[in-house]
Amino acid sequence: MLALRGQAEVAEGAEPAAIPPSIRLGIVDDHNVVRAGLERLFLSYSCFVVVGTAGTARDALAMARAHKPDVMVLDIVLGQESAMDVLELLAASVPQTAVVIYSGYPEHQFALPLIRLGARAYVDKAAPVAELVDAVQAVAGGATFFSKPVQALLWASVNQGAPSGIAGLTAREFQVFLRLASGQTVTEIAKALSLTDVTISSHRAHVLEKLQLTSNSHLTRYAIDNHFLK
């Protein structure tokens, strides 16, 4: 079992993972100022080497494949793409790269789907920068790093059986939900995710059923009202 680090305690009896002396880091955010600020932050520490930065999902994957960073600091929204698109493809092509989600979106809404896709840490952009540094060091050493509220969500998802509402969506359904809510059509989503229209239509039906909604316009309103879209 992976140890939880940061605001959590390491599991009883578990030895903290060793932190590599030099951590190769990739930074992905769609805002130039944020990328530059994060790069300056990490380069102020002797233990970090920034091997690449990117502002889109496509560039993030290209950077990861070319440079194979130990850790990728990844924003959720990347233009028309999202962290979910990156995580899915990263797991298949560069599985050794651990991902720290760094976002201003509420962790209670996004953390579970992203963790299901392989994110090893989730840090709110409102948190102290030291928390982000700690998270990167933790996942580089083989641990995970989640706040106490996220840990509570994880325990609840294990102990409460089949969850309802947004928490009941699978990672793929959540991915489709975000794209539908942002106005993409079934065909556009199928092309972006390399799936068939039939598969996306099936996911759409499951999303509508689980959220007790009846149309794409209702999905969009739900996403706006619950701060999944800005």
Residues 128-145: tens digit of each pLDDT = 999 999 999 999 999 999
Is 95 strand, coil or helix? coil
Residue 6 predicted with pLDDT over 50:
no
**Per-residue pLDDT averaged across 107-124, rounded?**
86
Could you give the CA distance from residue 227 to residue 5 in angstroms, rounded to a whole number? 28
Residues 29/75, Cβ–Cβ less than 8 Å: yes
165-198-202 Cα angle (round to 5): 15
115 φ, ψ (degrees, to nearest 5): -65, -40
Residue 62 predicted with pLDDT over 70:
yes
Amino acid at 90: L
**Per-residue pLDDT averaged across 74-89, rounded?**
85
Residue 103 predicted with pLDDT over 80:
yes
In this prediction the pTM is 0.73
- What pLDDT does 13 receive? 41
Could you give the CA distance from residue 141 to residue 112 in angstroms, rounded to a whole number? 22
pLDDT band at 159; cut points 50, 70, 90: low
Give the residue with greater pLDDT, 63 vs 199.
63
